Amino acid sequence: MLGVESEAPDIVKIYANRDDVDFGSVDSIDCTQEFSLLRDIPHGTIAEYPTKVAKFSSLHCLTLFFPSNFSGSERTRISYIGLKGEFTEYNRDPVIALYEASADLADHPMTSVTQNMNHSIH
């Protein structure tokens, strides 16, 4: 961490694929990853935080939670958040299931009971 340290580190908690995160539940849910934020970054410099790639695959929802204002200030201004990755189209395809619409009798051997049932009574 660069710069002056305060009592509580400035962090961001990241939640992947969680639609249920809100201010009431954020403390009781484990975050996917947490970063200590860098301070005193020169203007024009980009700080990159390495993510655990396996935990962010097939991402459809991303929540960033900043538990406190940067360095204890009244306000924190976020100028830019950039995300890296590969775009894949979100598909909600139906489950493909194979079933028999009409049974093939050759696939089902007949027992003696079912053979007798096929005879007509005169």
Q: Pick from 58, 59, 76: which is nearest to 67 by CA?
A: 76
Question: Which residue ranges make up each domain of the chain?
Answer: 1-90
- For residues 15 and 35, the answer to whether their CB atoms sit within 8 Å is no
Over residues 44-50, mean pLDDT: 85
Selected residue with higher pLDDT from 52 and 106 = 52
Q: Tens digit of pLDDT for each residue in 15-41?
A: 999 988 888 888 899 999 999 888 777
